Amino acid sequence: MAESLEQQRHNLTHAIGECILAWAKVEQTIACIFGCTLLSELFHVTRIFDSVISFDARRNMVEASLDVLAEQEDSKLTRDHLSKWKKLSDKSRKAYVKRNEIAHCDLKELTSQNKVVAVELLGFSTLTRDFLQAPTLDLKQLRERRNSFIDLANELWDFLEELERLVKLPPESPSQSPNNNPA
């Protein structure tokens, strides 16, 4: 039996919510990485980081902080660590585009003979891109994206833990804060 329109809408909106929650772990972990580079209390770092809205700017803040940290005389941070961050940063940038398609999507009702027959998710399309080229996403694709966001958050978390081993942190380090682990 085919799903009712209400069930289709519910399933799609639920999957959208799961994607956004998974993405939040990516952003929270990047904030923790930034905090780790500043060797400061998490509360102060969070206030600084949260004052910046742009995801690209936040990634650049982390990169600049890592560079400064690596330049310190007693730093254990190597070019390999910086290269690893660059790869993770590039990967997160690409994932951010996919996140935006979901976060700014629209549910479209499909009609036949003036009757709504199905609901589909129309991903975000910018004004510079033809509206008709906006991706249509189904539940399987949403679940794949959610899983890829979770995998990315876990990769970032692994980087954070590695970074914490290399630097001297204040008592409350980012990964030790409650509810931060993306797993």
Matching residue, tokens 């994932």 = 95
Burial 80-109 (b: 16+ CB within 10 A, else e): ebeebbeebbebbeebbebbebbeebeeee
List pLDDT tens digits, range 129-175.
Answer: 555 566 778 889 899 999 999 999 999 999 999 998 888 765 555 55
Dist. CA 40–CA 174, nearest whole Å? 10
> Between 169 and 90, whose confidence is greater?
90
Mean pLDDT within 36-56: 82
Q: What is the pLDDT of residue 108?
A: 76
Lowest mean pLDDT among 9-13, 93-97, 155-159: 9-13
104-to-48, 89, 152 alpha-carbon distances in Å: 26, 22, 21
Dist. CA 101–CA 92, nearest whole Å? 14
* Bridge partners (DSSP) listed for residue 109: 119
List pLDDT tens digits, range 61-72.
Answer: 999 999 988 888
- Taking CB atoms within 8 Å and a gap of at least 24, the contacts of 73-78 are 75/166, 76/166, 76/167, 77/163, 77/166, 77/167
C-alpha torsion sign, points 5, 135, 142, 28: negative
Considering the chain, what is the average pLDDT of its residues? 83
Q: What is the pLDDT of residue 178?
A: 46
Dist. CA 124–CA 98, nearest whole Å? 9
> Between 158 and 39, whose confidence is greater?
158
